[in-house]
Amino acid sequence: MISKTTFRVSHRALLGHWLLVPLGAALHFAPHAPFTLAGANAPETLTNILSWAGMGLAAWGLLNVAYQRLAHEYVIGPDRVIERHGIIARRVTPLFIHHIRSTEVNQTILGRLLGYGTVEMSAAGTGTSEARFERVANPLKVMASINSHFQSLAAGTGQE
């Protein structure tokens, strides 16, 4: 019996958002630093604005990471794959494994370096992808998991 496997967006795929947190924190706690490096005195109103902007930048980065991680869930079950998006408004795309005709992995150069990518599954009779697992860690492992569920289902051992 094969159980369900759940995947989420990889932390490494959200590196750009994670970098906003220390950048914003540095700007918040040291708003005078850019002016000191330039050898100038900073007006107090400008440093207050930079401090608040830094706090906002750090908060934006954290909120964006939290949303991406919580709002995207990908499940590979014994008989279907399920793609879920959203927190309040929700979009759920189930696809039966026996309908999958091809799986494809797409990785950018940065995705290859950091170990994340997109797994696309297309169903019989369609030329487009029916389900996409975007920015998952180890996309080749995810594709192998889908293929093993497909083989298990074809062999008749995939019942829950």
**pTM higher than 0.85, yes or no?**
no
Alpha-carbon torsion (148, 154, 156, 159), positive or negative: positive
pLDDT at residue number 63:
96
d(CA 81, CA 156): 17
Nearest to 75 by CA among 155, 153, 142: 142
The answer to whether residues 76 and 142 touch, using CB atoms and an 8 Å cutoff, is: yes
pLDDT at residue number 115:
94
Question: In the chain, which stretches have pLDDT less than 50?
Answer: 1, 158-160
pLDDT at residue number 98:
85
Query: pLDDT tens-digit profile of 27-43?
Result: 999 988 888 887 888 88
Longest CA–CA separation in the chain, Å? 74
pLDDT at residue number 160:
44
Tokens 């997109």 label which residue? 118
Token pair of 55, please? 């706090």
